[in-house]
Amino acid sequence: MLSSWRARLGWSAVRLLLTVVVVLGVFGLFLWGLGRDPIKAYQDTFRLNILNPRGLAGVLARMAPLLLTALGVAIPFRAGLINVGAEGQFMMGALLGTWAALNLEGLPMGLHLALVLLAGMVGGALWAAVPGVLRARGWVNETITTLLLNYLAPLVVGYFVFGPWRAPELAFYPQTPEYPASARLPLLFGTRLHLGFFLGLFFLLAYAYLINRSRWGLELRTVGGNAEAARRLGLPVERWILAAMMLGGALAGLAGVAEVAAIHTRLKLDISPGYGFMGFLVNWLAFANPLGILIMAFLIAFIASSGFTLQITQRLPYAAVNVLMALILFTVLAKPLAQRGKR
């Protein structure tokens, strides 16, 4: 048992290493073809985003929403559900959190922030409840509904940002007034790293413990493994499906409100560069494994940060950065095939 677990970990490490080597190699050739120095490019990227403490803090700040959105996909995944909707849940979390931030001012410092974060979780959970109910009742597949709701969420946010919540002095770019100080998530060490990162780590640990060691985790995984068998065992399968979706949505929503409360400090439409979709990618790379989520979230955060470093240091056109992203996706897409072969 232990040895097979070790072998699997070994295989994962080899696969990760191979992925990295292939991506860096091919992209290096691409850089070389453009007349750039790939070694220098990788050195700069590493020096500025890993070795430099401020740069590293920037990568970790980007990891915060990725950890939470990845968990938002992982929990439904364990229940056999595909939640493509973390992006929309992220936005709705930010929306409801903003309501709390702007309307509950005057509460004591910690209480206000706690309510803002809680409201964000409720926003994400409610948005995820829609596909959750539809799936639990057996009406509509959740992959479709969560995906489609991603397109709806920015329209809802847009209604408030362009309409009732718009800050009057900001005619050029519609956004809400600034969060009051009591609703802000503190930034740490004078960098962009914020408390949301530790919230992400906390929920990752909680997930790791609950999913493997608790009765709830066992029931959830049973529902995910074989819903029919779970039903015959007397498990409330419908309730578990709804709960898994709402829990996932709550964490994605927390990611959204934390990002606004820490970094942007006001709600606007461009708060996410696709954190929900990146979280989906993280979970997919990690197969809902907690340690895998930690590593992959770091990797994706690092790559996203490197994109702009490459543009600045190597004068690469913006489109070239997309080539790197596409290469990673491509290599990642090749993974399940190799796995299928092994089984």
Partner 1 sequence: MKRAVLGLVVLVFGLVAAAEPCLIVGMIIGGTKDDAGYNQSQYEALMALKEKMPCVEILFAENVPAGEAEAVLESMILQGAKLLFPAGFAYMFPALNVAKRHPDVIFMHPGGYMLADNFGTYFSNVQFAYYLLGVAAGLMTKTNKLGFIGGMPTAFVLGNCNAFHLGARAVNPNVTTYFVVTGAWVDRAKEVAAAQALIQQGCDVIGSHLDSPIALAQTCCEAGVFYVGYPSLAVQKFCPEYWITGLGLSWGDFFVEVAQQVLAGTWKPEHVRRGLEAGFITLGEFGPKVPEEVKKVVLEFKEKLVSGELQPFAGPIRDQEGNVRIPEGTAWGPLDMGKFDWLAEGVVGSPK
Smallest gap from residue 10 Cβ to partner 1 (A)? 35
Smallest gap from residue 104 Cβ to partner 1 (A)? 22
CA gyration radius, the chain: 21
Q: Which is nearer to partner 1, 135 or 266 (CB)?
A: 266
Q: Which is nearer to partner 1, 24 or 269 (CB)?
A: 269
Q: Which is nearer to partner 1, 61 or 134 (CB)?
A: 61
Q: Which is nearer to partner 1, 159 or 209 (CB)?
A: 159
Q: Which is nearer to partner 1, 274 or 336 (CB)?
A: 274
Smallest gap from residue 106 Cβ to partner 1 (A)? 24
Smallest gap from residue 216 Cβ to partner 1 (A)? 35
Q: Which is nearer to partner 1, 40 or 239 (CB)?
A: 40
List all residues 6 or more positions away from 9 whose beta carbon is below 8 Å from its beta carbon: none
Smallest gap from residue 57 Cβ to partner 1 (A)? 9
Smallest gap from residue 268 Cβ to partner 1 (A)? 7
**Binding positions for partner 1, rule: CB under 8 A:** 48, 52, 54-55, 58, 61-62, 169, 171-173, 190-192, 263-266, 268, 270-273, 305, 308-309, 311-313, 315, 318
Q: Which is nearer to partner 1, 76 or 93 (CB)?
A: 93
Smallest gap from residue 189 Cβ to partner 1 (A)? 10
Q: Which is nearer to partner 1, 77 or 165 (CB)?
A: 165
Three-state SS for the chain is CHHHHHHHHHHHHHHHHHHHHHHHHHHHHHHHHCCCCHHHHHHHHHHHHHHCHHHHHHHHHHHHHHHHHHHHHHHHHHCCCCCCCHHHHHHHHHHHHHHHHHHCCCCCHHHHHHHHHHHHHHHHHHHHHHHHHHHHCCCCCHHHHHHHHHHHHHHHHHHHHHCCCCCCCCCCCCCCCCCCHHHCCCECCCCCCEHHHHHHHHHHHHHHHHHHHCHHHHHHHHHHHCHHHHHHCCCCHHHHHHHHHHHHHHHHHHHHHHHHHHHHCCCCCCCCCCHHHHHHHHHHHHCCCHHHHHHHHHHHHHHHHHHHHHHHHHCCCHHHHHHHHHHHHHHHHCHHHHHHHHC
Smallest gap from residue 197 Cβ to partner 1 (A)? 14
